[in-house]
Amino acid sequence: MNRQFKILILGGTRNARDLAIALASDKSAPRELDILTSLAGRTSEPDRTFGKTRIGGFGGAAGLAQYLAKEKFDLLVDSTHPFASRISQNALIAAQSAGIERLVLNRPEWQKQPGDNWIDCADLDEAAQQLPVGATAFLALGHQYLDRFSHREDVHFVARMIDPPKTPIPLKNHRLVLAKPSHLAAEEAALFTRFNITRLVCRNSGGKLIYAKIEAARSLKLPVLMIKRPPAVSGKNFGNITDLAAEIIRLSA
């Protein structure tokens, strides 16, 4: 009897959960798929996924390589956030060290649509610099990035987080919204209107689930400071779950 085909999915996006579910529902795999999804643990209640999960890091590329070898994984799937360059680089090195295949789910970037008013920014520092004096900026960013805006005491910020911050927010003038992003543009627009938002600051993460804020900004004619995505780490990249799942099934033969 063939041994199970062991897959480690590095999560961090909703796509990781959807990929695990897609693989579990596909009965065409030549071998039984043993799927483990690893999460960083940045939210207290992550989305439920299929199969086994683990929380926490591995200790860099060396630690991940040791884990892959010790647990005898056959495949590493990188479904981390498009801006998680360091994790993706560690995954590349670890897979090479462990001698296994690495596949990447790299969802396409958002593309500017008619009515969008995007101000392209190379990074967080440029976005902070581009904010005009007296603006009310909605920061669609994680807590770990807010300190890059702390010097802009002439701007009022609204920051949204899923969980209460464990350390003080490093912004002098701010309001905190504890909520998950809505998938409805009307709800996002209502939130922006409620707080008199004049600028939206976000990263070009791509994906449909969090696109509503872009649609809301378009409907309200709000400028969007769009932070460009870093170059993708080299590897076999797939833009959608269907193609990636098909490749995983092929490799399991």
Model confidence over 118-170: pLDDT tens digits? 999 999 999 999 999 999 999 999 888 999 999 999 999 999 998 898 889 99
32 vs 24: CA distance, rounded Å: 9
Beta strands in 170-235 (DSSP E): 174-178, 199-203, 224-227
Residues 145 and 186 occupy one common structural domain:
yes
pLDDT at 241 (0 to 100): 92
Q: Is residue 170 included in any domain, yes or no?
A: yes
Task: Check: CB of residue 24 under 8 Å from CB of residue 36.
Answer: no
Range 184-204 average pLDDT: 97
Query: What is the value of pTM for the model shown?
Result: 0.85
pLDDT at 50 (0 to 100): 60
Which residue pairs from 59-68 have beta carbons closer than 8 angstroms and sit at least 24 positions apart in sequence? 60/90, 61/89, 61/90, 61/91, 61/93, 61/94, 61/97, 62/94, 62/97, 64/90, 64/91, 64/94, 65/93, 65/94, 65/95, 65/97, 65/98, 67/8, 68/8, 68/94, 68/95, 68/98, 68/100
Q: Which helix (H) or strand (E) holds 34?
A: strand 33-39
Residues 240 and 218 occupy one common structural domain:
no
pLDDT at 1 (0 to 100): 44
pLDDT at 47 (0 to 100): 52
Q: Is residue 161 included in any domain, yes or no?
A: yes
pLDDT at 42 (0 to 100): 54
pLDDT at 46 over 80: no
Task: Check: CB of residue 156 under 8 Å from CB of residue 173.
Answer: yes
| Lowest mean pLDDT across 16-25, 100-109, 121-130 | 16-25
Residues 180 and 95 occupy one common structural domain:
no
Binned at pLDDT 50, 70 and 90, residue 44 comes out as very low
In 3D, which of 96, 74, 68, 64 has the Cα closest to residue 29?
74
pLDDT at 28 (0 to 100): 82
What range does the domain containing 141 cover? 118-227
Q: Is residue 15 included in any domain, yes or no?
A: yes
Domain count, the chain: 2
Q: What CATH number is given to the structural domain containing 193?
A: 3.40.50.720
What secondary structure letter does DSSP report for 148?
A: G
Q: What average pLDDT does the chain have?
A: 91
Q: Is residue 113 included in any domain, yes or no?
A: no
Edge-to-edge strand ranges of the sheet holding 199-203: 118-121, 224-227, 199-203, 136-140, 156-161, 174-178
Residues 222 and 235 occupy one common structural domain:
no
